[in-house]
């Protein structure tokens, strides 16, 4: 960690006016920046070099038991204009006081920008992003981000370090909890929804904050799932699977980007001109600003691509990092680098312009306090409306993985033995990256069941999440004796996923598997509720449990949302956004694998396989049960032989054949049978979540365009190739309805 370096820049170089380096071409996604362009230029003319560098400097504030605090040195840096942005700074009084210093005690009165990791809620906590992704419900996901932005903005925040859109195929990586899972297409749609929610009707509105798409790029591909680790992949792979969600977020209007900690192709992302300049700015026409990740600039010394901090700053600025988070390297060395001709004044000015433009667009120069609004804060924080939204998203995020003998739902007069370390816990329910959320605001599972009207609930904790003490099993077995059904709430600790929380073993920690085995001896039906931040190895659990509800970390309304599902008031509709492996040795296991020259054949040794494990995961991508059943009809197509460039119209009838009304996520996958490069066996290209009443049926239509058949061809041009395609439609990546179609040149 790099804390404050109390350096004062002594060189106040005069500020020359530089020509605008970036012609503001209008593209649909990135509003040509500044309404206040001329204001930015006028301000830039007045700024000293130190004041310019200050705008590129971002520091953290702290949080003590007494509330938010700031280090003295940083406060002085605000006064001298050496720091223009702060993160982790929130609450109305605190942001007002810091802003007051910037406005009343600095020469140019440039307002501060306040950022924070509002990842799945500010005070009202929603499910972790991976959990929300399981809802496949873009309206609900957008709503969640909207509520988060409303709450955060009222507390003085202008900027959230979200959405995290890193595609991840390795559940050992702790940060899978922050993203949308393994798939590029689903990841793109969710990235857009989150940006729409965060930025609302547009930057400048008091309830909208700046989105920051992170971690650019390919952070989710850290080798071995070990956080911060190296990333190495072909450019084809990068462009095809990892880059699209960042692009989707930017096209949806995200105005800032965070560079990632990892290297790509031998160059740390923080100093990677190919990623930051060639792709981001030149190809995607990104006009906002790029911030480093926490001390990411300084870490380039450890990466071994620069000899010292000064060189790290030069590499980062040249590559396109505008703002330095917490390294204090720009602050300490930029003036010297400029004197030595290692960087140009134009590079500095361009970075300053991008940051000031957004401060203007936020309206901070007109009213620097507009976001820190106590009345709005009091009206919105944890309001009944926000809690209702959190409950709604939470119930939609739950995935029913197993339901042997239709043990679920449970009628209200069921005698329940509620067992397990998470059964009445509140503090863990908000998961990791939980903003300003508090466990004390959460509804526990026990409370949720009681509130729902289950009044025969006996409780036993049985064990802790991660220790090895089994002495509580006896009491749990006693409670089990008198119950009709055991509801066993198991999982990880919230801090077992998130940053710096990779695991080499992804089974339930501690003695929880033993607990389940012990409870199984009671002969009672067992419903397992799982709380976790990643796909787990559930190979033992599926044998011991009758029903399994994957509940991730559901946030403030956990207990109510679970009671909705357990009682059948809401019929579960979640689908996995990531494959759940059979064992850690299968990882990475994902649905859109390539055929290989020797496709898997369980009966043939010389095929691509393990000798001690099957290839398929325990639960595939897109999988999730309902209390009802859905039957898919044959796929209908108006034009199975179609000309390149014309849309293909597809339809499928889905029938609700069970005993409940229900929602189904109808998923469409394609396979390009023969192409100039190898293609995955399946790729998700469309989905629709629909509600079908009991006994009813619905015809769902899809239209596939040329973009859906396109990929990076052998010559790296993006486009489609004529030939045969297979279409699969169904309720998971194993969808079995199939239709062959053909594209003519």
114 binds ligand BGC (CB under 6 A): no
Residues of span 641-670 touching ligand BGC by CB under 6 A:
none
Q: Of 207 and 293, which CB lies nearer to ligand BGC in the complex structure?
A: 293
- Residue 87 CB, nearest approach to ligand BGC (Å): 6
Residues of span 500-559 touching ligand BGC by CB under 6 A:
none
Residues 6 or more apart whose Cβ sits within 8 Å of residue 298: 2, 309, 312, 327, 329
Q: Of 116 and 709, which CB lies nearer to ligand BGC in the complex structure?
A: 116
- Residue 635 CB, nearest approach to ligand BGC (Å): 41
Tell me how far CA of residue 353 lies from CA of 205, 293, 364, 402, in angstroms.
Answer: 21, 20, 15, 54
The rounded distance, in Å, linking the Cα atoms of 480 and 110 is: 64
Taking CA 320 as the corner, what is the angle to CA 318 and CA 321, rounded to the nearest 5 degrees?
105
CB 208 within 8 A of CB 146: no
User: Which residue numbers are catalytic?
Assistant: 293
- Residue 432 CB, nearest approach to ligand BGC (Å): 11
Identify the CA nearest to 443 among candidates 388, 491, 507, 404. 388
Binding residue for ligand BGC (CB under 6 A) from 77, 117, 137, 564?
A: 117
Q: Of 293 and 708, which CB lies nearer to ligand BGC in the complex structure?
A: 293
- Residue 88 CB, nearest approach to ligand BGC (Å): 7
CB 107 within 8 A of CB 79: no
- Residue 702 CB, nearest approach to ligand BGC (Å): 35
Residues of span 254-293 touching ligand BGC by CB under 6 A:
293
- Residue 294 CB, nearest approach to ligand BGC (Å): 4
74 binds ligand BGC (CB under 6 A): no
The rounded distance, in Å, linking the Cα atoms of 366 and 354 is: 18
Q: Of 241 and 294, which CB lies nearer to ligand BGC in the complex structure?
A: 294
The residues facing 740 across adjacent strands are: 726
Q: Of 294 and 621, which CB lies nearer to ligand BGC in the complex structure?
A: 294
The rounded distance, in Å, linking the Cα atoms of 177 and 181 is: 8
Q: Of 161 and 630, which CB lies nearer to ligand BGC in the complex structure?
A: 161
Binding residue for ligand BGC (CB under 6 A) from 136, 161, 377, 621?
A: 161
- Residue 657 CB, nearest approach to ligand BGC (Å): 44
Quick one: residue 741, left, alpha or beta (phi over 0 = left, psi -120 to 50 = alpha)?
beta
- Residue 501 CB, nearest approach to ligand BGC (Å): 12
Count residues binding ligand BGC (CB under 6 A).
6
The rounded distance, in Å, linking the Cα atoms of 289 and 269 is: 15
Element (H, E) at 92: helix 92-104
The rounded distance, in Å, linking the Cα atoms of 716 and 718 is: 6
214 binds ligand BGC (CB under 6 A): yes
194 binds ligand BGC (CB under 6 A): no
User: Taken in order 730, 735, 741, 745, is the CA torsion positive or negative?
Assistant: positive
Identify the CA nearest to 627 among candidates 527, 734, 557. 527
Element (H, E) at 737: strand 737-744
Q: Which residue is nearest to ligand BGC (CB)?
A: 161
Length of the chain: 745
Residues of span 405-424 touching ligand BGC by CB under 6 A:
none
Q: Of 214 and 671, which CB lies nearer to ligand BGC in the complex structure?
A: 214
Tell me how far CA of residue 659 lies from CA of 308, 440, 532, 628, 633, in angstroms.
Answer: 67, 38, 30, 6, 19
Q: Of 293 and 392, which CB lies nearer to ligand BGC in the complex structure?
A: 293
Residues 6 or more apart whose Cβ sits within 8 Å of residue 72: none
Neighbours of 587 (CB within 10 A): 21
Residue 598 tokens read as 């020797």
- DSSP string computed for 97-132: HHHHHHHHSSSS-PPPEEEE--SS-SSS----HHHH
- Residue 257 CB, nearest approach to ligand BGC (Å): 12
Instruction: Give the three-class secondary structure for 281.
Output: helix
- Residue 368 CB, nearest approach to ligand BGC (Å): 23
499 binds ligand BGC (CB under 6 A): yes
The rounded distance, in Å, linking the Cα atoms of 704 and 741 is: 12
Q: Of 322 and 373, which CB lies nearer to ligand BGC in the complex structure?
A: 322
Instruction: Give the three-class secondary structure for 154.
Output: helix
The rounded distance, in Å, linking the Cα atoms of 205 and 210 is: 11
The rounded distance, in Å, linking the Cα atoms of 529 and 512 is: 12
The rounded distance, in Å, linking the Cα atoms of 464 and 414 is: 26
- Residue 595 CB, nearest approach to ligand BGC (Å): 36
Q: Of 251 and 499, which CB lies nearer to ligand BGC in the complex structure?
A: 499
Binding residue for ligand BGC (CB under 6 A) from 94, 136, 294, 570?
A: 294
Q: Of 159 and 365, which CB lies nearer to ligand BGC in the complex structure?
A: 159
The rounded distance, in Å, linking the Cα atoms of 135 and 144 is: 12
Binding residues (CB under 6 A) for ligand BGC: these are: 117, 161, 214, 293-294, 499
């Amino acid at each position: 960690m790099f804390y404050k370096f109390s350096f004062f820049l002594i060189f106040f170089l005069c500020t020359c006016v530089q020509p605008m380096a970036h012609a503001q071409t209008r593209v649909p996604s990135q509003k040509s920046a500044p309404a206040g362009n001329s204001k930015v230029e006028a301000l830039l003319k007045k700024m000293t070099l130190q004041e310019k560098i200050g705008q590129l400097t971002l520091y953290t504030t702290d949080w003590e038991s007494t509330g938010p605090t700031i280090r003295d040195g940083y406060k002085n840096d605000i006064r001298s204009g050496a720091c223009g942005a702060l993160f982790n700074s929130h609450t109305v009084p605190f942001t007002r006081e810091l802003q007051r210093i910037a406005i009343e005690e600095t020469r140019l009165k440039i307002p501060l920008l306040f950022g924070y990791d509002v990842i799945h809620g500010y005070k009202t906590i929603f499910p972790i992003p991976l959990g929300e992704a399981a809802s496949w419900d873009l309206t609900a996901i957008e709503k969640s981000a909207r509520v988060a932005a409303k709450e955060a903005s009222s507390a003085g925040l202008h900027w959230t370090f979200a959405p995290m859109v890193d595609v991840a195929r390795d559940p050992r990586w702790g940060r899978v909890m922050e993203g949308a899972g393994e798939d590029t297409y689903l990841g793109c749609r969710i990235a857009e929804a989150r940006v729409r929610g965060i930025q609302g009707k547009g930057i400048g509105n008091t309830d909208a904050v700046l989105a920051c798409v992170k971690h650019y790029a390919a952070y989710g591909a850290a080798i071995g799932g070990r956080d911060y680790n190296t990333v190495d992949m072909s450019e084809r792979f990068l462009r095809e699977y990892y880059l699209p969600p960042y692009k989707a977020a930017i096209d949806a209007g995200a105005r800032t980007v965070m560079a990632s900690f990892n290297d790509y192709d031998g160059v740390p992302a923080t100093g990677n001109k190919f990623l930051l300049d060639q792709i981001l700015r030149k190809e995607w026409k990104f006009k906002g600003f790029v911030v480093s990740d926490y001390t990411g600039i300084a870490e380039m010394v450890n990466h071994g691509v620069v000899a010292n901090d000064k060189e790290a700053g030069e590499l980062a600025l040249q590559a396109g990092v505008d703002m330095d988070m917490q390294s204090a390297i720009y602050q300490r060395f930029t003036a010297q680098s400029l004197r030595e001709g290692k960087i140009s004044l134009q590079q500095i000015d361009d970075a300053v312009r991008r940051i000031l433009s957004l401060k203007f667009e936020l309206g901070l120069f007109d009213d620097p306090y507009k976001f820190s609004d106590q009345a709005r804060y009091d009206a919105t924080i944890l309001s009944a409306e926000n809690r209702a939204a959190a409950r709604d998203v939470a119930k939609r995020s739950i995935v029913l993985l197993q339901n042997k003998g239709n043990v679920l739902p449970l009628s209200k007069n069921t005698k329940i033995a509620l067992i397990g370390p998470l059964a009445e816990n509140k503090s863990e329910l908000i998961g990791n990256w939980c903003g300003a959320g508090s466990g004390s605001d959460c509804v526990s599972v026990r409370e949720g069941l009681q509130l729902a009207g289950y009044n025969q609930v006996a409780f036993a904790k049985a064990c802790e999440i991660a220790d090895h003490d089994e002495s509580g099993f006896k009491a749990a077995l006693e409670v089990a004796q008198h119950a009709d059904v055991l509801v066993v709430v198991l999982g990880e600790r919230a801090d077992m996923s998130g940053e710096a929380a990779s695991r080499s073993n992804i089974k339930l920690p501690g003695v929880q598997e033993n607990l389940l085995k012990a409870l199984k001896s009671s002969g009672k039906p067992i419903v397992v509720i799982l709380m976790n931040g990643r796909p787990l190895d559930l190979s033992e659990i599926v044998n011991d449990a009758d029903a399994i509800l994957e509940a991730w970390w559901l946030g403030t309304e956990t207990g109510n949302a679970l009671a909705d599902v357990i009682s059948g008031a809401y019929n579960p509709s979640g689908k996995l956004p990531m494959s759940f492996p059979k064992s850690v040795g299968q990882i990475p296991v994902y649905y859109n694998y390539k055929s290989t020259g020797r496709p898997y054949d369980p009966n043939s040794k010389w095929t691509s396989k393990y000798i001690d494990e099957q290839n398929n995961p325990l639960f595939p991508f897109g999988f999730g049960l309902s209390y009802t059943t859905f039957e898919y009809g044959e796929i209908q197509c108006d034009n199975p032989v179609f000309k390149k460039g014309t849309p293909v119209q597809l339809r499928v009838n889905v029938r609700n054949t069970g005993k409940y009304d229900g929602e189904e996520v109808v998923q469409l996958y394609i396979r390009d049978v023969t192409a100039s490069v190898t293609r995955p066996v399946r790729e998700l290209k469309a989905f629709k979540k629909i509600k079908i009443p009991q006994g009813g049926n619905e015809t769902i239509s899809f239209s596939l365009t040329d973009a859906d058949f396109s990929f990076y061809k052998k010559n790296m041009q993006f486009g489609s190739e004529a030939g045969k395609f297979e279409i699969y439609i169904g309720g998971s990546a194993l969808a079995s309805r199939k239709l062959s179609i053909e594209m003519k040149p």
